[in-house]
Amino acid sequence: MTEAIIHIDSLAFGGAGFGRLDGKACFVPFTAPGDVARIKITHEKTSYVEGEVLTLQEESPQRVASPCPVFGVCGGCTWQHLSYSAQLEAKKQIFTETLRRFGRVDPARIDSPVPAEHPYGYRSRAQFKVRWVGGKLHMGFYRRGSHFVVDIPVGCALCHPMLNEALAEIRHLLICFAESDRIPQVDAAVGEDGAVLIIVHYIGDSPGKARNFFEDAQNELTSVNGLHLQFGRKDTIERVWGIDELSYCFPAGFLPDLPEISLVFSRGGFSQVNYQQNRELVRAVHRMACLTGSERLLDLFCGNGNFSLPLARYAAAVAGVEEYGPSLDDGRRNARDNGTSAIDFILSDAAAGVRFLVSRGDSFPVVVLDPPRTGAKEAVREIVRLNPERIVYVSCDPATLGRDLGLFGKDGYAVCESLPVDMFPQTYHIESVTLLRKA
């Protein structure tokens, strides 16, 4: 079978439309529930097949026009063809099913997603891939399932407008750079105040010449406030000119009686890509933590203090554990600059950090964790040893979240509530905040 007609019933984690062919699960990217499509079979396995659309014989009413000219080719987005309401509905279904399957979470415990006010133009960070193809510069994102760079000369519809301005200026500059084929990637980030910081990855043999070139080009990058070169891993980043940090804020009164808080993160440091939705995450964590001022709070994977700083006002004391040194330095500085002295920042991976705290006899009734996409499997057993009353788990991956919730469940913790937050509109990615308590 090389071609087939399929009715798309739903959307799957990963973004593809889902239907069945001869009893087999079939996944077709860029389709919508209600589509009837003629597809080409691209992969056929024992239990499932994958296909790509040849023609749509019937179009779903959930379909909308995409504003991006390379949507469907570029791998950065999966759902621009869906109405935003359909995206939210799909995320709720996918999130609920994933947690039920991996963590045995009762669907009744899962809330509707918090929608984004701005479904486009929200990304504050992006990694633009760079390739030369047939003598022409391609700067953009990888095509789905490949390392072919799809050029986006008019910018990315998901990115903050200032990032697209900077992208256009950097593109023009790279065309003039003698070793432009030695630049595989450009990282761009924008602060909430509109300041832009660029990191150019250089893999050539003449770092001094590269540094001189970008020093001399400062006046041509009018949208850029700081430029850095990276020669390998993060610890090789060198400032060429301009700023080396960005900032975002939590406005006064955002949480009860909270004064305005401004947080910085340094070049190469982590921050959420959607500042507005990040505030929704913090709002949810504050609500679920139920701090009364007498509890000691542990913040694992604390980064620059994104949760530690806003929550410190409501806790008796806070310990923050982070393994990336520059982010921990940012956290210490943020605490100092915001007049918060009750945070004990510890440089360590999460599991070892908890073991250290246990060894010195510390206890924490409330634990907050925000691990990377791989989850917190190694830290779960150590967290349980603390015997916290509440665990608030912030996740960007439903599958690893479900796995870890299952591990917590084996030690007597049950999910009370799980709130998806749509941090990444136009994609299948789902951020969430989950509260666990002893069963």
Q: What is the mean pLDDT of residues 77-81?
A: 96
CA 61 – CA 221 distance, rounded (Å): 44
Tokens describing residue 135? 């003598």
User: What does pLDDT average to over the chain?
Assistant: 95
**Nearest 10 degrees: Cα torsion 354, 355, 358, 362:** -40
Give the residue from 141, 126, 138, 24 showing the smallest Cα distance to 78. Answer: 141
Q: What is the mean pLDDT of residues 197-208?
A: 96
What is the predicted pLDDT for the residue at 1? 64
Phi, psi of 238 (to 5 degrees): -125, 135
Predicted confidence (pLDDT) at residue 145 exceeds the cutoff of 90:
no
What is the predicted pLDDT for the residue at 269? 84
Q: Write 10-13 long-range contacts (CB < 8 A, 24+).
A: 10/90, 10/93, 11/79, 11/90, 11/93, 11/94, 11/428, 12/94, 13/94, 13/98, 13/398, 13/399, 13/428
The proportion of the chain whose per-residue pLDDT surpasses 70, expressed as a percent, equals: 100
Q: Which amino acid is at 120?
A: Y
- pLDDT tens-digit series, residues 227-285: 999 999 888 999 999 999 999 999 999 999 999 999 999 988 889 999 999 999 999 99
What is the predicted pLDDT for the residue at 435? 98
Q: Catalytic residues, which ones?
A: 396
What is the predicted pLDDT for the residue at 261? 96
- 367 to each of 58, 288, 354, 407, how far by Cα in Å? 50, 11, 10, 16
What is the predicted pLDDT for the residue at 283? 98
Question: What domains can be seen in the chain, in order of their start residue?
Answer: 3-63 (2.40.50.140), 91-117+281-438 (3.40.50.150), 125-242 (2.40.50.1070)
DSSP 260: P
What is the predicted pLDDT for the residue at 421? 98
Predicted confidence (pLDDT) at residue 389 exceeds the cutoff of 90:
yes
Categorize the per-residue pLDDT at 144 as very low, low, confident or very high, splitting at 50, 70 and 90: confident
- pLDDT tens-digit series, residues 54-72: 999 999 999 999 999 999 9
